[in-house]
A and B are shown apart, each in its own frame.
Chain A
Amino acid sequence: MKRIFRVTIERCIACGKCELACAFAHGSEGKPSKTRINIFRRGPELGTPVVCFQCDDAACAAICPTQALVRNEATGAIEMIRERCIGCRLCVAACPFGNMLWDEAYHCVQKCDLCGGDPKCVPFCPTHALEYVPADEAALKPEPLVWEETARTGR
């Protein structure tokens, strides 16, 4: 079963652990500011993690002049083939969600490849805001966690 991200933004505390995990996993100089998953910080301890959707009809793959962005049928991720990238940055401009990132240090684009089917950011999320679930479960509201239940009932 194909798995996708489920992001429950009500749970995100903007701690940045997913960004750190991504930075270390993919070696974009290990900088949290240069990661494939980005938290948009709405306020103290309020965040919205933003990560590639692996679109079905992806603009990045459609515009790439060298077919460097190819879907991995096993994981469902669109992967960037480094050897084919010519650094024209069109995918960066074309992605309607801003999830293609230009890496000035390596002179290539960075994009989420779901870490080959085992996203490193997910286990680091302390509040389960980020989950990696089968595609048909992703639209369901997640089961409340213990602390959410406590907050709701006051017990």
Chain B
Amino acid sequence: MITLTINGKTVRAREGSPLLEAIRAAGVEIPTLCHHEALEPWGGCRLCLVDVTRPEWKGWAKMVVSCMYPAEEGLIVQTHTERVVETRKVVLDLLLARCPETPLIQKLAREHGIEKSSYPPNPEPTDCILCGLCTRVCDHIGVFAISSVNRGAGREIAPPFHEAPPDCIGCLACAEVCPTSCIPYETSDAKRTIWNKTFEMVRCPTCGKAHITTAQAGFYAGRNGVPRSYFETCDACKRREMAHTFSKLSAGAGGVR
């Protein structure tokens, strides 16, 4: 454990852990959009910027993204200096210009005193903020079905060649982690559609309810060394089976009918 100063308060943190962790543990709120506890830090949204300095730097401070900067002994962190707040505002101003109709961005911008973007509005408003969470979660699972394509203003998130991604297993993780919920999908007990690909569902043989796709079952059956049928029965039916087993066990001991 090491000791550092956050907004004048002395806190302890694990050496090398992201600064953001220590800042949040100290109870300081700073906004993030591309951060997810389950994934490696990425430093994409630039909202978690902070000023760091040391006594020996003689007043010089540098701005870093706290989600990627490792906690070090004796570091002095300022989370809301004038230039940090100003930079955050610029980032949100740009995001608001890109996504003028997205409630999450509108809310964050308003919290930072921006009602209307000072940049020309995006002629094609989108909800995607290019935070990369969807592609990173897909890579983390080991599927690699989607990625960011093109560069600069034309950058977007898409499956290869804008076609139904052959590798996608339809787990919906991308849609679930998306902070602006901008990845459309449809799911029912019969089929699921995402990224223009339609999946068969693993349906419970008893009641027909489904939680995962057959592609998902195949992927994880191979990885975890269990048969695909392992995933078939739905949770409610499994609970009923278990209750039956218990009743039978008790009945065997002369217990219940």
Give the interface segment out of B4-12, B53-61, B147-155, B170-178. Answer: B170-178
- Please tell me if A89 contacts chain B, counting CB pairs below 8 Å: yes
- A42-B237 Cα distance, complex, nearest whole Å: 14
**A132 interface residue per 8 A CB criterion:** no
**Among A10, A40, A63, A88: residue with most chain B CB under 10 A:** A88
Alpha-carbon gap, A107 to B183, bound state (A): 15
Contact flag A87-B239 (CB < 8 Å), given A46-B256, A81-B37, A93-B202: no
Of A10, A68, A84, A98, which is within 8 A of B256 by CB?
Answer: A10
- Of B63-71, B86-94, B240-248, the stretch lying at the interface with chain A is B240-248
Residue count of chain B within 8 Å CB distance of chain A? 40
Q: Is the interface of B mostly helix, strand, loop or mixed?
A: helix
Within 8 Å of chain B (Cβ to Cβ): is A62?
Answer: yes
Contacts of B137 in A (CB 8 A): 86
A94–B211 Cα gap in the complex (Å)? 10
Assembly CA distance A1 to B241 (angstroms): 31
Within 8 A of A (CB), among B14-46: 36-39
Residue in A40, A86, A89, A97 whose beta carbon sits within 8 Å of that of B211 in the complex: A89
- Separation of A83 and B133 alpha carbons in the complex (Å): 13
A48 interface residue per 8 A CB criterion: yes
How many residues on the A side are at the interface (Cβ–Cβ under 8 A)? Answer: 36
Q: How far is the CA of A67 from the CA of B164 in the complex (A)?
A: 29
Binds A, one of B98-106, B120-128, B228-236: B228-236
Determine whether the beta carbon of A90 is less than 8 Å from that of B212. Answer: yes
Q: What is the CA–CA distance of A63 and B240 in the complex, to the nearest angstrom?
A: 23
Residues of A within 8 A of B220 (CB): 63, 90, 94
Question: Which residue in chain B gives the minimum CB-CB distance to A83?
Answer: B37
The answer to whether B171 touches A98, judged by C-beta atoms less than 8 angstroms apart, is no
Minimal Cβ-Cβ distance residue in A for B138: A86
- Point out residues on B near A: beta carbons under 8 Å: 36-39, 137, 140-142, 171-173, 176-177, 202, 211-212, 216-217, 220, 224, 230-231, 233-244, 246-247, 250, 255-257
Give 30 pairs: A residue, B residue, CB < 8 Å, sorted on A: A7-B246, A9-B256, A10-B256, A40-B239, A40-B243, A42-B243, A46-B256, A50-B239, A50-B242, A65-B173, A68-B38, A86-B137, A86-B176, A87-B173, A87-B176, A89-B211, A90-B212, A90-B216, A92-B211, A92-B235, A93-B212, A93-B231, A94-B231, A95-B235, A96-B238, A97-B242, A98-B233, A98-B239, A98-B240, A101-B235
Binding site for B on A (CB under 8 A): 7, 9-10, 38, 40, 42, 46, 48, 50, 62-63, 65-68, 81, 83-90, 92-102, 107
